[in-house]
Amino acid sequence: MSFSQIDNHWLVGARACLSPHHNQRPDSNDISLLVIHNISLPPGQFDGPYIEQFFQGHLDPAEHPYFAEIASLRVSAHLLIRRDGSVIQFVPFSARAWHAGASCFDGRQQCNDFSIGIELEGTDTHPYTDQQYQSLAAITQTLMQYYPAITRDRITGHQHIAPGRKTDPGAAFDWKKLHALI
């Protein structure tokens, strides 16, 4: 899938799975940052239904001990890129997804207000797949076209906007590879 079009702030080709964990941006025209994250639920395990359940507020705390710690959190991202490169969209790009938390980029606080958050199914230390890089690169190019304030120097990791608090996408993420693909 090429992921080369956006229709009404939804990525064409992504599966839609609306999260209730979003709200209106302070300025819907201010979309100027792309933040890369990682997630796996349970930690270090891939391909289950739990990330979708978490972003939709339906994670069952009885299914895994770790889930009891996080089930009450209200978290989302705009997109999730699975290990096979498939993409799920949880929040339209025009809305504020709750992915960055306390954060700062280029002197500006509250990155959720002006960013798009993309989660990669993975961990800080486990290599990401070629399919994920291909999907991420195609999506990044499309986002840069539709939201021109997102430029190459406005693509960052969660670890960079929340240092000391967050570590993702981690040492396993190959920034050079992504930049070469876009």
Q: 52, 63, 69, 119: which one is catalytic?
A: 119
| φ/ψ of residue 2, rounded to 5 | -90, -25
Say whether 121 is catalytic: no
Sign of CA dihedral 143, 179, 154, 90: positive
Q: Which of 86, 31, 79, 32 is nearest to 55 (CA)?
A: 79
- Range list of β-strands (E), the chain: 6-7, 10-11, 15-16, 22-24, 33-39, 79-81, 87-89, 95-97, 104-105, 108-109, 115-121, 155-157
Active site members: 119
